[in-house]
Amino acid sequence: MLTRKPNQGCELSWHRVQHFPLNMNLAPLMLELQRHQVVYRITEEANGQCLWVADETQIEPLRQWLRNIDFSDAAFQGSFNSGIDVAGSASHSTLGLLSLANRFPVTLIAIALAVVGYLAMEFQWLWLIQWLTFQPLELTGKGLGWGSVSEAFQSGQFWRLLTPVFLHFSVLHLVFNSLWVWEFGRRIEFYCGMGSYLNVLLITGIFSNVVQYFWSGPALFGGLSGVVYGLLGFVWVMQKRAPGGPLQIQPAIFGFLLFWLALGFSGALNVFIDGSVANGAHAAGLVSGLVLGYFWRLPDVRNRI
- What mean pLDDT comes out for the span 57-68? 86
In SS3 terms, 59-114 reads as: HHHHHHHHHCCCCCCHHHCCCCCCCCCCCCCCHHHHCCHHHHHHHCHHHHHHHHHH
The reported pLDDT for the residue numbered 2 is 31
* Sign of torsion over alpha carbons 35, 29, 239, 205: negative
Alpha carbon distances (Å) from 132 to 148, 171, 190: 15, 18, 28
Show me where the domains of the chain are located: 15-99, 104-295
Query: Do the bridges between strand 40-45 and strand 15-20 make them parallel or antiparallel, or are there none, so unpaired?
Result: unpaired
Percent of the chain scoring above 70 in pLDDT:
82
Q: What angle do CA 286, 292, 297 make, to 5 degrees?
A: 155
Angle between helix axes 279-295 and 194-216 (nearest 10 degrees) is: 140
- 192 three-state secondary structure: helix
**Catalytically active residues, by annotation:** 225, 282
Average the pLDDT over each of 115-129, 163-177, 202-216, 259-273 and give the range with the smallest value.
259-273
pTM of the model: 0.70
- Per the CB < 8 A criterion, the answer to whether 78 and 24 are in contact is no
Q: 208-258, pLDDT tens digit by residue?
A: 999 999 998 888 999 999 999 999 999 999 988 877 666 778 889 999 999
Chain mean position to CA 90? 24
The architecture that CATH gives domain 15-99 is 2-Layer Sandwich (3.30)
The reported pLDDT for the residue numbered 58 is 86
In terms of average pLDDT, the best of 32-41, 64-73, 146-155, 274-283 is 146-155
CB atoms within 10 A of CB 302: 14
- What mean pLDDT comes out for the span 194-206? 96
Q: Identify the CATH assignment for 104-295 out of 3.20.20.70, 1.20.1540.10, 3.60.20.10, 1.10.3470.10.
A: 1.20.1540.10
